[in-house]
Amino acid sequence: MARYSPLVIDHFDRPRNSGRLPAAPDVIEASAGSVAQGTSFHLSARLSGESIMAMQFEAYGCPHCIAAASWTTEHLVGSPIEALARWDWRPVAQALEIPAEKRGRMLILQDAVKCLAEIGLQPP
């Protein structure tokens, strides 16, 4: 049986920012992965100027995936859009104590965040 850290259990049982932000001119969206391959992430972010005002996620995968998306959205709110381009999976993996065999899934989350950055950093 898989073991989960207390933080994974907390974010899995009570995910923060789950769902999708309604479409609007100040909302951007990006996805990575696929349900068919067992892991997917969809992120949406509301921007104000150069800052992330709100984020939501939809994720398909193991409890580590759900917890990682929840943790990530929680930590990116309030950040500048440029933070998305620099975001790396390692801090979330460390905080949630994600085992090495599951870290490849964090790369899919990183892809979704980087896609969101590309969209958010495009000129209007």
Query: 77-120, pLDDT tens digit by residue?
Result: 999 999 999 999 999 999 999 999 999 999 999 999 999 999 98
Query: 37-67, pLDDT tens digit by residue?
Result: 999 999 999 999 899 999 999 999 999 999 9
Q: Which domains does the chain have, with CATH numbers?
A: 6-120 (3.90.1010.10)
Nearest by Cα to 32 from 86, 108, 107:
108
Is the alpha carbon torsion for 105, 76, 41, 57 positive or negative?
Answer: positive
Q: How far apart are CA 80 and CA 77, in angstroms?
A: 9
pTM of the model as a whole: 0.93
Amino acid at site 95: A
8 A C-beta contact, residue 66 and residue 38: no
